[in-house]
Structure 1
Amino acid sequence: MSSVDIPREQWATRFGFIFAAVGSAVGLGNIWRFPFQVGQGGGAAFLLIYLLFVAFVGFPAILVEFVVGRYTERNPVGALREIGSGLWQYLGWIFIVTTFVILSYYSVVAGWTIRYTILGLQNGYLADAAEAEGQFVTLATGLEAIAFHALFMASVVVIVAYGIQRGIELAVKVLVPLIVVITVGMAVYASTLEGASEAYAYYLSPEWGTIAAEWTSILPAAAGQAFFTLSLGMGIMITYASYLGEDRNLAEDGAIIIGFDTAIAFITGLIVFPILFTAGVDPGAPGAGAIFVSLAAAFGDLTLGWLMGAVFFGTVAIAALSSAISLMEVVIAYLIDERDIDRTRATLGVGVVLFLLGIPSASDLVLLDLFDLFADQILLVLGGLLLMILVGWSLANLAVDELELGIGDLGSLGAAWIWAVRVPVVVVLFVALALGVIQYYEFLTVDFADWLADQ
């Protein structure tokens, strides 16, 4: 039987798709990466640039991925092979590679969240910042980190193996509402802390001088964060949209998904920064483990901090799971569509490979930074940029026609969307990519070179 003869699964309900897409977007990008990106970017200065990216780059871009996925009903590789020609047909492989790189270390970080949830229940957070950092290094690397990486990856495999309706859709219908309820509740708790007013000023009142002085570092970080948290540039939204019917209003669904995702990221800031300021912890500490060290030290200094920490890190673990299943589904959809491999066998095989690829990240934090920066500031933006160029300049009529299904005649709005993709989105992504490459080169020649010298 050829792959085109295999009946393709679809979402059972509209909310199933929306929850899955929201679950993909609301993950470690919102709760792990977002706070320390805001901290390193100067607080509200980063937040402002990030929100502009989400509105004026993220929304047009997510519609591009939606129309490509629904039109082709294929995974990223199959979709780009169908609509692309020449070298463009290989663009889908960038998405597959990006997914593999991200999920390999994503699972490691998600394992940390499970470990820190347990640590909270053991009342094990250390209030001293130096001790908290030492504790993190011990827990985040070595055999224990590898074991929790394996536990998390096994959880992802089980859910994805059950398929779209019985696995992914069923899981996200439980996970996403749970994430929303807990984060809102914790934001209310954080507002009662004594450092809340100072934290809100830092988080919500941008200093224009910071933007003017630091825009070359804020711009690529904000672009990468917007793409990371919206699951763009990974092929996820292409894959998820491939399971949609033609009667769906893609623009409405896209707005709902982005609204939910951005709200959760914003609320996370309302949780994290009051906790950090109350405990007197620096919100701008660098590195992938910054939020774990800073928050653990803060929770260790608060009354009932062990309980709040367990709830917080448990929520992060749930969010990570909802995102990880979407990352794995990109690769599984490729193996099912293009290689006629049974879903269960494909999922088990991919899970084992990803576990092995994640071992270096679980062994050394510098290697995790190496993969994270490469995926975040180069691969995500590169894949997104090339897809925007292809669809905006070569497939404009096809894209508008597909977007109009389920909506009706868009008239001038369709042209406005295409021109937004063609010019501002492409230009911003190109600049962000160039700056990202420069920053990654600096990382390789300084931090990574120092690490190699010490080996």
Structure 2
Amino acid sequence: MSAPRGQFSSNIGFLMAAAGSAVGLGNIWGFPTKAAGSGGAAFVMVYLILAFLLAYPALMAELTIGRYARSNMVHALRTIAKGPVSRFLGGLTGFGGIVVASLILSFYAIVAGWMVAHLAEPFASLFGASDAAQWLTGDSTARNLTFTAIFSGMTMVIIAAGVEKGIERWSTLLMPSLLILMLLLILYVLSQPGAMKGLEVYLMPDLSLIDPELMLSAMGQAFFSLSLGVGTMLIYGSYLSQQESLPRLGALVTLIDVGIAFTAGLLILPAMYVAQEAGTQIFSASGELIAGPGLILQVLPALFNEMGSAGLFVSMAFFALMVIASLTSSISMLEVPVAFAIESLKVPRKAATSLMGLVIFAISTVIILNFDALFGLVISISTEYGQPLLGVALCIFAGWIWRRDQLLMELKEGHENIESTLFWKIWPWYVRIVCPLLILAAFAQSVF
């Protein structure tokens, strides 16, 4: 039977939900293009190492706090605090996490809406609705509002259904679908002219390219790729059974995340060089590789157009992949404010979902209506400043503020001999000292 506040019914359900939270648009396009523009395979190699040196220990901090407190981010951090000052700081950090998660979702829903519109475009083209197809891929305020609302509604429907029937059920359906679509697209793209050049850039490391700047860039990507710092993993940890081994589950989530990020690179990098072979420009005037929305909404659609009728079906599969990746991340972000509304404001789940979902959609609407001024600003405030600083705060709470005996007792749940393992010998001091310093180094590099 479910716990009163909801609980994952199986390891697989949690792993799919946690991996889905981590695998979003940034993982599908961000990691591969960052790799291509920052040393190729050398970046990939450093990223894979740093995912376990930085992301895994920080992930463990969120999961452990979440399962111990079994509550939303605000109450969880206040629970492990020792006195009035740390409780106040815990509440402040928790509210900060809710605000940052909401801001990230507000711009993320806009970008995901673009993916939904581009998914609909091939269907419109198939049925000869050329005006509709043109509108779907245009950049109008009406198009952006419409599809942001559609995507926000999809996210809200899943969250309103609860942990087991919503988050877990949909994650276990969507994540295998994402992997199947990705593998099919990889097989198709690798059969096209130019793909091998992209594969070479991605898989053949030039170790001379490894420098402090590349390492800091890879460190930042490793941290952000697991959607750490905003409480999503803390909330998911609060829905875990006491019988589960947190170090083992955390390692599996990290492995799945970096595995999917690496697999995405096998699709995106070869696809870019296939596009170049077909005559599409993949480098900007300054010589930098086109990345982010420009890659997804300009470079690859141009490639699909060159493929003729086959391009319509490849486009459908690709944008279905992007919509699925968007959805698995958005549900984890919406759950952060919804969990707070349910547990601290005593609002029923469906009402809490509608309330928080509509507030975030209102923020998205303000961004769309003031796009040039606000879109980049909100991204910068939430991901470049908010997320890393919250990540540091969570490591400090786990490493310095939480009583060590309580921490050990929580980790012993599901892993009785944890005290004698290498994990316990290294992780407590690592999350206290090394993780905050590494995150701050990546933060300084991205800001300055």
TM-score bracket for this pair, using the shorter chain length: 0.7 to 0.9
Give 1:427's match in structure 2, choosing from 430, 437, 442: 437
Q: 2:381 & 2:215 partners in 1: Cα distance?
A: 16
Match of 1:301 among 303, 306, 314: 306
| Residue 407 (structure 2) aligns with | 399
- Cα separation, partners in 2 of 1:7 and 1:278, compared to 1, 3 Å: closer
Residue 427 of structure 2: which of 417, 425, 432 is its match?
A: 417
Verify the 8 A CA contact 1:299 1:308 in the aligned structure 2: yes
Please tell me whether residue 184 in structure 1 is matched to residue 183 in structure 2: yes
Tell me the residue number matched to 1:352.
358
**1:375-399: CA deviations, max 9, x gaps?**
2222111111111122123334432
Structure 1 residue 415: deviation in Å?
Answer: 2.2
- The range that moved more, 112-121 or 58-67, is 112-121
* 1:378 equivalenced with 2:378 (yes/no): no
Report deviation, 1:360.
4.0
Structure 2 residue 139 is matched with structure 1 residue 116? no
Bigger mean CA offset, 147-156 vs 383-392: 383-392
Give the Å deviation of 1:140: 4.3
- Pairs within 5 Å for 1:47-446: 47-84=44-81, 85=83, 86=85, 87-89=88-90, 90-122=92-124, 139-212=138-211, 215-216=212-213, 218-219=214-215, 221-280=217-276, 281-282=281-282, 284-286=289-291, 288-303=293-308, 304-363=310-369, 364=371, 367-395=374-402, 396-410=404-418, 411-413=420-422, 414-438=424-448
Asked if 1:43 is matched to 2:44, the reply is no
Structure 1 letter corresponding to 2:398: V
Structure 1 residues 92 and 357: alpha-carbon distance in aligned structure 2, compared to 1, 3 A threshold? same
- Percent of counterpart pairs with the same letter? 34
Shift of the 67–142 alpha-carbon distance from structure 1 to 2, 3 Å rule, reads same
Work out whether residues 139 and 145 of structure 1, in 8 Å CA contact, stay in contact via their aligned partners in 2.
no
Q: CA deviation at 1:342?
A: 1.0
- Paired residues of 1:76 and 1:235 also in contact (CA < 8 A): yes
Instruction: Report the alpha carbon displacement of residue 209 of structure 1 after superposing the two structures with TM.
Output: 4.5
Matched-pair contact (CA < 8 Å) for 1:360–1:368: no
AA aligned to 1:180 is L
Q: Match for residue 445 of structure 1?
A: none
**Contact 2:144 2:368 survives alignment (8 Å):** yes
Separation in 2 of the partners of 1:243 and 1:392?
Answer: 22
Shift of 1:272: 1.2
For structure 1, list consecutive stretches of 5 or more residues without a partner in the other structure. 1-5, 125-134, 439-455
What CA deviation, in whole Å up to 9, does each residue of 1:259-312 have, x standing for no partner? 112111111111111111012142611554333222112222235222112101
Contact 2:136 2:143 in 1 (8 A): no
1:210-259 CA deviation, whole Å, 9 max, x = no partner?
443xx43x455434432332121110111011111211111111122121
**Using a 3 Å threshold, how does the CA distance of structure 1 residues 30 and 297 change in structure 2: closer, same or farther?**
same
In structure 2, what is the Cα distance between the partners aligned to 1:381 and 1:206? 28
Q: Give the Å deviation of 1:149.
A: 0.3
1:54, distance to aligned residue in structure 2 (A): 1.1
Q: Which amino acid aligns with 1:330?
A: V
> Following the alignment from structure 1 to structure 2, what is the Cα–Cα distance between the partners of residues 181 and 174?
11
What is the rounded CA distance, in whole Å, between the counterparts of 1:139 and 1:238 in structure 2?
38
Change in CA separation of 1:112 and 1:341 when aligned onto 2, cut-off 3 Å: same
Q: In the superposition, relative to structure 1, how do residues 400 and 415 fare at CA in structure 2: closer, same or farther (>3 Å)? A: farther
Report if the CA contact (8 A) 1:35-1:291 is conserved.
no
The SS at the match of 1:318 is helix
Contact 2:189 2:274 in 1 (8 A): no
Task: Find the aligned partners of 1:295 and 1:288 in 2 and give their Cα distance.
Answer: 10
Contact preservation (8 Å) 1:224, 1:377? no
Deviation at 1:14, TM superposition (A): 2.3
TM-score (norm 1): 0.86
Change (3 A) 1:46 1:360: farther
Range moving further from structure 2, 402-411 or 279-288? 279-288
The alpha carbon displacement at 1:122 in A equals 4.2
Deviations 1:5-58 (A, max 9, x none): x93221222222121111111222221332333344343343233223311111
Separation in 2 of the partners of 1:43 and 1:147?
Answer: 38
User: Would the aligned equivalents of 1:64 and 1:399 in 2 still touch at CA under 8 Å?
Assistant: no
SS state at 1:375 partner: helix
Please identify runs of 4+ aligned residues in structure 1 that moved more than 6 A.
Answer: 135-138
- Give distance in 1, aligned partners of 2:216 and 2:386: 12
1:25 alignment partner, one of 22, 31, 35: 22
* 1:128 corresponds to: none
Q: What's the TM-score, normalizing by structure 2?
A: 0.87
User: Which moved further from structure 2: 65-74 or 417-426?
Assistant: 417-426
1:76–1:347 CA distance, 2 compared to 1 (3 A) = same
Bigger mean CA offset, 322-331 vs 364-373:
364-373
On the 8 A contact 2:117/2:137 being kept in 1, the answer is: no
Query: Aligned-pair RMSD on alpha carbons?
Result: 2.3
Instruction: Give the counterpart letter for 1:282 in structure 2.
Output: I
Could you say if the C-alpha distance between residues 163 and 291 of structure 1 is closer, same or farther in structure 2, counting changes exceeding 3 Å?
A: same
